[in-house]
Amino acid sequence: MTDSLAVGDGSVVEFHYTLKDSMGTTLDKSEGEPLLYLHGTGQIVAGLERALIGKVAGDAFTEVVQPEDGYGRRTEQPQAVPRSAFPATAKLERGEQFLTRNPAGQPQPIWIAGVSGDTVFVDFNHPLAGQTLHFDVVVVSVRAATAEEKAHGHAHGAHGHHHH
């Protein structure tokens, strides 16, 4: 690991973060282990990825990411689907995420917006769509990605290769 390596395409970055909404409420944060990602592959929101460019280990900064550079604007209203469309054992609680396929056959995440009797309301928008995101970030390390990481399109942790 070279501490002076700056974040750029093809680098593996570890960072701690706290994500807050516009009211200052903590929405998410790294716990224990820092977040690890391969820069330039779209694994984190675009606004934060751009803000990390040129940073080095030890850098700390705050970044405000607008919805367009975060999880996008809300584009659709929740839709009602029958309970029978889900596996009988599925946990159908607000905020739960499921993976379905769109009409083109591509994976499409959906989130449970609510349940009323035998009707489940699903939302195609990410739960943070439409929100301005406030990140506090500390860069832990930056290193060049290995050939294997570049080929796989994601960073491998300290314990080797992990499929997601």
Domain segments of the chain: what residues? 11-71+130-152, 79-123
Tokens describing residue 86: 């889900």
3 pLDDT exceeds 70? no
pLDDT for residue 47? 97
pLDDT for residue 1? 45
Tokens describing residue 125: 């928008």
Query: So what CATH class is 79-123?
Result: mainly beta
Does CATH number 3.90.1150.10 belong to domain 11-71+130-152? no
**What is the rounded distance in angstroms from the CA atom of residue 7 to the CA atom of residue 53?**
5
If phi > 0 it is left, if psi is from -120 to 50 it is alpha, else beta; for residue 157 that is beta
- At 48-90, the pLDDT tens digits run 999 999 999 999 999 999 999 999 999 889 999 999 999 999 9
Q: How confident is the model at residue 154 (pLDDT cuts 50, 70, 90)?
A: confident
- At 97-153, the pLDDT tens digits run 999 988 899 998 999 999 999 999 999 999 999 999 999 999 999 999 888 998 888
Cα distances (angstroms) measured from residue 118 to each of 15, 94, 99, 100, 115: 43, 15, 20, 19, 7
pLDDT for residue 17? 97
Contact 67, 46 (CB under 8 A): no
